[in-house]
């Protein structure tokens, strides 16, 4: 077994893999390739893919790969904006729960090889279509036909380049934590999501995704009690409580350092402090509005859930910040990151210390110093700002190296 080196991964990378399982063999037969699966990285540590479980998110650090199976990490050659990356991520996240179509995954390969002609579009999603259509949602056409593309088409796309030396034989921290807890919380969440969707599809078979549930409720408010019951019985609403109880080391600095030991600083810089939880804020804002407009009990339950997710995310970052300050005898602070005008080549950091830190360019040596701590280009990191004497410390987003 081997593992993906997450120090090499970036948001909007594409991961192409295969397995020795029967469905993989069927897809490889249809596509004439040794690659059978495609995933979209919506975060350096999180991917979204379409499998027999439907479209779901997974923690990359908790995945392992068989020695005899291929794995390719692909990256867009052209630079895209943060807004475009967010649109690509949102395209994938909005489809979580949508059912997988195995037959279309197989038929896509036959169509591409000219064995059969294109037929009418069917319901359901498969892995390579999800990835291709996510990029196409921002006008980036990776393949000739996103509806019927295959993982092999993505592998050979002229728009993508392969990133090499991406494997490691030592398990990632996420994989180790599953062994420590004896539970895979990601898998449990996928199971609860699918249980929820199975229940609501008995009410309306046309529901495909979690987003569809919201729209169904808005148009059918009389089903509020039934939908809320489905949420409650699935365990979806209480899953965060279970994770919180089992991961107290992420909220207490002393426990944090005891758990991660010599790896504490690295984990702070590359995981805890760079965790992208903005989607929680967006969802919370959405459900606050839904409660105001519709007053449904299901929306109130979801508002409370996202309020909790936002609170826990903030507490995790504050804990990591305390750990980092303790280990480095520093005074790091948390700030919001703002985008830089694309016309600006360089910017002043003189106002950063007061609360707003902008995206900045740094020179090669400064970047190398951060790389030594496991930071990558494109990361949002807690780093010392040295360009002006008054800045002190701030959250710096590296978008370009001079």
d(CA 125, CA 100): 5
User: What is the model's pLDDT at position 381?
Assistant: 39
Q: Report how far residue 220's alpha carbon sits from residue 298's, in angstroms, rounded to the nearest whole number.
A: 12
Domain limits of the chain? 3-168, 183-246, 256-329, 336-401
Q: Find the angle CA(91)-CA(96)-CA(99) to the nearest 5 degrees.
A: 115
Q: What is the pLDDT of residue 256?
A: 93
> 363-379, pLDDT tens digit by residue?
445 545 544 544 444 44
Name the stretches of the chain with pLDDT < 70: 19-35, 100-125, 170-182, 269-270, 273-274, 330-402
pLDDT at 2 (0 to 100): 78
pLDDT score recorded for residue 234: 98
pLDDT score, position 199: 98
What is the token pair recorded at 173?
């921290």
Among candidate residues 334, 341, 376, the one with its CA nearest the CA of residue 357:
334
Nearest to 11 by CA among 68, 67, 116, 87: 87
Please work out, in degrees rounded to the nearest 5, the angle formed at the alpha carbon of residue 92 by the alpha carbons of 86 and 93: 85
Query: Is the Cβ–Cβ distance between 361 and 345 less than 8 Å?
Result: yes
CA proximity to 16, closest of 112, 98, 132, 95: 132
User: Could you tell me if 74 and 16 are in contact, meaning their C-beta atoms sit under 8 angstroms apart?
Assistant: yes
What is the per-residue pLDDT for 5? 84
- Looking at residue 73, its pLDDT comes to 94
Tokens standing for residue 116: 């059969």
Dihedral sign of CA atoms 13, 14, 19, 21 in order: positive
- What are the structure tokens assigned to 253, written together? 């600095």
Architecture of domain 3-168: Alpha-Beta Complex (3.90)
Whole-structure pTM value: 0.72
């Amino acid at each position: 077994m081997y593992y993906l080196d997450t120090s090499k991964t970036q948001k909007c990378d594409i991961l192409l893999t295969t397995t020795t399982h029967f469905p993989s063999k069927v897809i490889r037969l249809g596509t004439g390739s040794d690659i059978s699966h495609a995933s979209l990285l919506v975060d350096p540590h999180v991917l979204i893919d379409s499998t027999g479980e439907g479209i779901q998110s997974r923690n990359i650090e908790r995945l392992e790969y068989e020695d005899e199976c291929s794995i390719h990490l692909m990256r867009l050659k052209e630079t895209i904006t943060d807004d475009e990356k967010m649109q690509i991520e949102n395209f994938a996240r909005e489809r979580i729960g949508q059912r997988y179509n195995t037959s279309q995954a197989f038929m896509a390969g036959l169509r591409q090889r000219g064995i059969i002609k294109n037929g009418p579009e069917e319901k359901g999603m498969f892995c390579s279509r999800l990835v291709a259509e996510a990029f196409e949602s921002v006008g980036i056409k990776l393949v000739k036909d996103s509806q019927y593309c295959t993982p092999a088409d993505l592998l050979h796309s002229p728009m993508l380049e392969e990133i090499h030396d991406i494997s490691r034989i030592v398990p990632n921290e996420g994989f180790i934590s599953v062994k420590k807890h004896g539970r895979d919380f990601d898998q449990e969440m996928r199971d609860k999501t699918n249980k929820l969707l199975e229940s609501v599809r008995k009410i309306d078979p046309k529901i495909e995704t979690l987003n569809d549930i919201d729209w169904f409720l808005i148009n059918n408010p009389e089903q509020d009690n039934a939908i809320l019951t489905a949420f409650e019985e699935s365990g979806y609403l209480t899953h965060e409580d279970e994770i919180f109880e089992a991961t107290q080391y992420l909220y207490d600095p002393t426990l944090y350092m005891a758990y991660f030991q010599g790896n504490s600083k690295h984990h702070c810089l590359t995981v805890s402090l760079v965790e992208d939880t903005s989607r929680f804020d967006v969802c919370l804002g959405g459900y606050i509005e839904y409660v105001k407009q519709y007053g449904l009990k299901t929306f109130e339950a979801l508002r409370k859930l996202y309020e909790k997710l936002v609170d826990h995310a903030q507490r995790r970052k504050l804990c990591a910040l305390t750990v980092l300050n303790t280990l480095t005898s520093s005074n790091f602070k948390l700030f919001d990151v703002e985008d830089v005008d694309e016309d600006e080549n360089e910017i002043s950091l003189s106002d950063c210390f007061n609360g707003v830190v902008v995206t900045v360019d740094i020179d090669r040596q400064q970047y190398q110093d951060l790389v030594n701590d496991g930071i990558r280009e494109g990361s949002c990191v807690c780093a010392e700002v040295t360009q002006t004497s008054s800045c002190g410390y701030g959250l710096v987003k590296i978008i370009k190296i001079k």
